[in-house]
């Protein structure tokens, strides 16, 4: 295991340790949240009684294979704890998410959780958001119009693709990745983008006051 993978695992393990018996837990998506889910799976095998909602089909499959009981918002109203990764984490705890394409479900789960834990390696921790392209989930119909508006807003948009076809999210939408440069006013940008008809969600996760667990390549793990 390389140093970055070790760091991701360390962050995931530390977050999983916050899961208590009886909790309803949000399971994030991505290569860091993966390790938290693995650890929670072990804890369930050892007798931990929890139920979970996953933020992607991939994480749900992983959880089910590990025997983690899965529930949904048809059965519950609120989660106790959400553990997820991020693409950028600012010093104020503001986030860019959606590099893995699951931003919409991730935001629904984050907003439905009483506590949020964000896990990441040291490369994710930044002074100001904006280096990582900002994912914007859009409905496929008329995406070209949203794309042109994003161009006019200086977002330097790119339609996310896979195998030369538009990338399709778990919600059957497209993702347009944008580069607005340093994002000095994330709330304003988020509001501006959300008001565009056809935009479903942005990857700006703001004012969620997460507990942030950062793992370093030298083996340190810090909770912020």
In the complex, minimum distance from the CB of residue 32 to ligand 5RP, in angstroms, rounded to a whole number:
3
- B/e letters for 108-138, b = 16+ CB within 10 Å, e = fewer, are bbbebbebbbbbbbeebbbeebbebbbbbbb
Q: What is the dihedral of CA 81, 84, 88, 89, to 10 degrees?
A: 20
Residue position matching structure tokens 């991939």: 58
Considering only residues 1 through 30, tell me which ones interact with ligand 5RP, judged by CB under 6 A: 28-30
What are the phi and psi torsion angles at 87 (to 5°)? -95, -35
Q: In the complex with ligand 5RP, which residue's Cβ is closer, 32 or 198?
A: 32
Of the candidates 13, 82, 84, 177, which one interacts with ligand 5RP according to CB under 6 A? 84
88 binds ligand 5RP (CB under 6 A): no
Considering only residues 92 through 111, tell me which ones interact with ligand 5RP, judged by CB under 6 A: 97-103, 106
Of the candidates 7, 32, 60, 210, which one interacts with ligand 5RP according to CB under 6 A? 32
91 has catalytic annotation: no
171 binds ligand 5RP (CB under 6 A): no
DSSP code per residue over 63-85: HHHHTPPB--TTT-S-EEEEEE-
Q: Is 11 annotated as a binding residue?
A: no
85 binds ligand 5RP (CB under 6 A): yes
137 binds ligand 5RP (CB under 6 A): no
Q: Is 84 annotated as a binding residue?
A: yes
User: Hey, how many other C-beta atoms are within 10 angstroms of the C-beta on 36?
Assistant: 30
90 binds ligand 5RP (CB under 6 A): no
Side-chain-facing half-sphere of 19: CA atoms under 13 Å: 30
Catalytic residue among 38, 60, 91, 106: 106
Q: What is the largest CA-CA distance in the chain?
A: 55
116 binds ligand 5RP (CB under 6 A): no
Query: Which two tokens mark 168?
Result: 């399709």
Considering only residues 183 through 212, tell me which ones interact with ligand 5RP, judged by CB under 6 A: none
- Residue numbers annotated as active site: 106
Footprint on this chain of ligand 5RP (rule: CB under 6 A): 28-33, 84-87, 97-103, 106
């Amino acid at each position: 295991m390389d140093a970055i993978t070790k760091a991701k695992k360390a962050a995931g393990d530390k977050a999983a340790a916050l899961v208590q018996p009886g909790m309803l837990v949000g399971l994030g998506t991505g290569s860091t949240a993966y390790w938290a889910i693995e650890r929670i799976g072990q804890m369930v095998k050892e007798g931990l009684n929890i139920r979970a909602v996953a933020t992607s089909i991939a994480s749900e499959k992983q959880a089910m294979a590990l025997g983690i009981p899965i529930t949904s918002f048809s059965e519950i109203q609120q989660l106790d704890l959400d553990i997820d990764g991020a693409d950028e984490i600012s010093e104020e705890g503001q986030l860019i998410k959606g590099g893995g394409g699951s931003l919409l479900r991730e935001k629904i789960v984050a907003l439905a959780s009483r506590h949020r834990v964000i896990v990441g390696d040291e490369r994710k921790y930044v002074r100001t958001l904006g280096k990582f392209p900002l994912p914007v989930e859009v409905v496929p119909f008329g995406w070209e119009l949203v794309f042109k508006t994003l161009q006019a807003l200086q977002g330097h948009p790119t339609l996310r693709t896979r195998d030369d076809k538009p990338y399709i999210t778990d919600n059957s939408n497209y993702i347009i990745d944008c580069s607005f440069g340093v994002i000095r006013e994330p709330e304003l940008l988020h509001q501006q983008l959300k008001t565009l008809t056809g935009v479903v969600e942005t990857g700006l996760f703001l004012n969620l006051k997460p507990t942030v667990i950062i793992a370093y390549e030298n083996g340190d793990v810090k909770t912020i």
